[in-house]
Amino acid sequence: MATVTLTGAKGRQIQGTTLYPIFKSLLLTQLVPTGLFINNEFTPASTNETLTIENPSTGTPLATVSSASPADIDRAVHCATQALPAWKATPGAVRGALLHKLADLIERDAEDFASIEALEGGMLYTDSKGMSMPQAISTLRYYAGWADKIDGKTLHLPDGGVGYTFREPLGVCAAIVPWNAPLMITIWKLAPALTTGNCLLIKPSELTPLSALKLALLIREAGFPAGTVAILPGDGPQAGNALSLHPQIRKLSFTGSTATGRAILRASASSNLKRVSLELGGKGPSIVFSDCDLANALLWTRIGITANNGQICAAGSRIYVQRGIYNKFLEEYARLSAEEKPVVGDPLDERTTKGPVSSAAQLQKILGYVEEGKKKNGVRVLFGGERIGEKGYFVQNTAFADVGQGERMMKEEIFGPVACIAPFDTEEEAIALANDTAHGLSAAIFTNDVNRAHRVTAGIESGQVTVNAWAMLAANMPFGGVKESGFGRDMGEEALEGWTTVKAVKYNILPPAAKL
């Protein structure tokens, strides 16, 4: 088995067979396989093609992993098809116990996962370990509890017959996962898929496959049957397209860009009409009313655009502030952001509060929007707007004030730490501004008026709305969008519907047989 030795923040020391240098090594040496995970074994790609993984803190190569070809996808589908009957027949309580075991193992190795996510994706070690890992673990435990409780209905039919329904797994399914929170979002797909009896092929992002390969080790250690889960690093045009078009895959769950979501829908239509769930881009509004707790609103609107460098689909990138407090909000927003004095550096270092964005391409995309914003008449740079240093992919937290509703930066998802702030006057105007977007994933409002909170949450076109906070992810709360932010839900009871199909059984009640 080819392996890569990663050096991270804390933990055990394990010797690998293929060494790649990582700068600023601390206390952890973590062994991660580099092959495709098919049928509970790690294997090179059939074409021997590879992906080079980069460390965004340094811009230097970090690791090389196998890249799946369409033939590898076929093999993984075949193994999953062979495993499906036994997995489907496995009692729910047994599937739940396996999910609990996997949660235990992730909890045991949380430091390892946090180190890997910092190295390959630039997420702060402290954020990964303190937020992403607990969220992944709680999601596994939540769906483990559902495994033996997925029931149907008993019905009385109009003609006097009786019927009942039950939910069946869809079969062999697939998930394509993004780079911004790789383990957490992988678990959002894996937990409900497996608890309902499906087999699952997972394609991690080509930027961040290492956490998924580490997860594969734990899937095998937990005791999941061979073929139940495959981990298939690869690029979109080959591996992603092969999953989208495969005639034996019954569902594909995707989190990523709207453009890729459209391509997946087209592939489904042109192949086997596989079920598709899409969690796509966002351009989340945060609406700050004059009657809010201003300190609380300032806290959450800053977190909502700087968490993970704004590389979150639910980021609160549009901030609308009622005119009566607009100038005060801008003054305090700038002051508090300056006082934070983020510690820029290696995301593995627990003292670091600002790591890099994910890649050179992402950095250039963000800087392109920023430079365009600086040239707009009437738009003010409140703070930030520059690259940090020349090594790695670091960019300042940035805010623009007085941004017009028609500006590109107010319309398009930047996926970086760039806030666009504008005033509004009335509640009706705030709702109209919030809804003036192609997206509808997440929104936040800040008000101490409970009646207003009810009115505005009802008026906003969004899959989720938070009141007096931002994000508030929880395993028992569904997450997903409307409009061009997609359809289908991760998490919550609602996600179970997306991984099952309903079968209806009807009985004709015959009269007693006539006596001879």
Catalytic residues: 279, 313
Residues 368-386: b if buried by 16+ CB within 10 A, e if exposed? ebbeebeeeeebeebbbbe
Strand-strand pairing, 162-169 and 172-176: unpaired
Residues 251, 61: Cα–Cα separation, whole Å:
34
Neighbouring-strand partners of residue 162:
156, 507
Residues 292, 178: Cα–Cα separation, whole Å:
35
Q: Collect all residues with Cβ–Cβ distance below 8 Å to 182 and sequence separation of at least 6.
A: 117, 121, 204, 205, 208, 211, 212
Residues 138, 498: Cα–Cα separation, whole Å:
20
Q: Collect all residues with Cβ–Cβ distance below 8 Å to 509 and sequence separation of at least 6.
A: 160, 161, 162
* DSSP states of 86-102: HHHHS-HHHHHHHHHHH
Among candidates 325, 346, 366, 317, which has minimal Cα distance to 22? 346
Among candidates 169, 145, 152, 142, which has minimal Cα distance to 87? 169
DSSP class of 431: H
Residues 98, 223: Cα–Cα separation, whole Å:
7
Going from the C-alpha of 429 to that of each of 219, 403, 405, 432, 468, the distances in angstroms are: 50, 15, 12, 5, 19
Token pair for residue 269? 């239509």
Among candidates 354, 379, 384, which has minimal Cα distance to 366? 384
Please return the burial class of 351, using the count of CB atoms within 10 Å of its CB with bins 0-12, 13-18 and 19+.
Answer: exposed
Neighbouring-strand partners of residue 29:
7, 13
Q: Collect all residues with Cβ–Cβ distance below 8 Å to 515 and sequence separation of at least 6.
A: none
